[in-house]
Structure 1
Amino acid sequence: MPSYKLTYHNLMGIAEPIRFIFHYVNVDFEDNRLDHTDWPSQKDNYPWGVLPLLEEDGRQLSQSFTIGRYLGKKFKLNGADDYESAKCDEYGDALKDLLNECRNLFFETDETKKTELREEILSKQIPKYCGKFDRDLVNSESKYLVGTTPAWIDFFVAHYLEFLETKIDEKFLKNYPKLQFFKQNIYNLPQIKSWIETRPVTPW
């Protein structure tokens, strides 16, 4: 079994769905958490100057969705065939598009503008992307986005739904019942539930 080390800040952030994957497949990894205040002096030591960073027997891999996709393939969490694997990628790209649409809100300091941005996201972007996720789940033959068992993208989507609940509107999922059920189902998987109950208490 390879030796894995995942380096990120002491946050949930964009590394949390990667941690979900490791815990779901019961594979040990070193959960290396950096002090955020030390990051400016250390970032030049990391590929692309960003985290998270996955090390597998010393080999380095960066970018969170790339790491998720890689582990999905390695642990057979990327669908049953090439089409299902591509659907995982499609949902991943759509999720990144949604997060990019929300990005300005998270950096806006003017409260009036923040309110306007939040309302626009809830009226336009959330329906566009979450509506599609919800409809696809309605038409799915399982409780998951791709195939009949959890795929790597399921952990990413579930995590970022919670992020949007925390940062934008804690009740927005009530308009998307299948998506709400999907998130609850992922979080109730025994391995994920156990991790959530015991993980370090940190900011997002």
Structure 2
Amino acid sequence: MAPKCKLTYFAIMGLGEPIRYLLSYGKIEFEDNRIEFEKWPPLKASMPFGQMPLLEIDGKKMIQSTAICRYLGKKLGLAGENEWESAQIDMAVDTITDLRLKLSDYYWEPDEAIKQKKKETVFNETLPFYLERLNVLVKENGGYLAAGKLSWGDIFFAALCDYMNCAAKFDITKDYPNLASLKKKISELPAIKDWISRRPVTEL
């Protein structure tokens, strides 16, 4: 019998989207429980460590988006075949997370003057620094981020791209053909393409 899965996250792509991509890739049916921002405060205390995303599988609760993705990656045969390959995937994912955090820090900055200063650094230094190196990494790995083959890290990257594009207000892969090709490759996987075609349209 297939496990009963429920993903609880905000009504955006954000950190929930890599999990949705992986569940879709694995053809695992799940309840996509989306929480509007204004409804989050009263729910926060009921969540483990007061945060989302939360994935429930047959009643067992999992938190921390990267840990959830790593777990699903292993279940779906998208993890490394040995410790070194797994480490390569983790290194790529942690680097992408660093990039996302820096971009998010700029995007969510409430002080407009500070935000403009952060924008200059993020767009002129941070994005080129990370994207140039990730672009080379994909080339070195035959079109993937690690181990020369499809991994959960590739799906993690492609799923976060839409969120990062929305935060940046442009396609961050446009000047990086290897990254653009990888994102396109993932988005055209049949099960993920199906998910993209029917997911709710959100800003982030």
Same fold per superposition (TM over 0.5): yes
- Runs ≥4 in structure 1, deviation > 4 angstroms? none
Contact 2:5–2:56 (CA under 8 A) maintained in structure 1: yes
TM-score by length of 2: 0.91
Contact 2:17–2:160 (CA under 8 A) maintained in structure 1: no
Matched, 1:129 2:130: yes
1:53 paired residue number: 54
TM-score by length of 1: 0.91
1:43 paired residue number: 44
Cα offset for 1:61?
0.7
1:96 paired residue number: 97
The AA in structure 2 aligned to 1:6 is: L
Matched, 1:164 2:164: yes
Cα 1:171–1:45, aligned 2, differ >3 Å: closer, same or farther? closer
2:182 paired residue number: 182
Tell me, in whole angstroms, the C-alpha distance in 2 between the residues paired with 1:171 and 1:63.
26
Cα offset for 1:94?
1.0
Query: Aligned-residue CA RMSD in angstroms?
Result: 1.8
Cα 1:9–1:107, aligned 2, differ >3 Å: closer, same or farther? closer
2:151 paired residue number: 151
Cα offset for 1:150?
2.5
Matched, 1:105 2:90: no
Report SS of the residue matched to 2:61: strand
Contact 2:88–2:147 (CA under 8 A) maintained in structure 1: no
2:86 paired residue number: 85
The AA in structure 1 aligned to 2:203 is: P
Q: Render the CA deviation track for 1:156-204: whole Å, top value 9, x for unaligned.
A: 2112222222221414423211111111111111111111111112332
Cα offset for 1:40?
0.5
Cα offset for 1:151?
1.4
Give the % identical residues.
37
2:7 paired residue number: 6
Cα offset for 1:63?
0.9
Cα offset for 1:137?
1.2
Matched, 1:16 2:31: no
Query: Which runs of 5 or more structure 1 residues have no equivalent in the other structure?
Result: none
Cα 1:200–1:169, aligned 2, differ >3 Å: closer, same or farther? closer
The AA in structure 1 aligned to 2:52 is: L
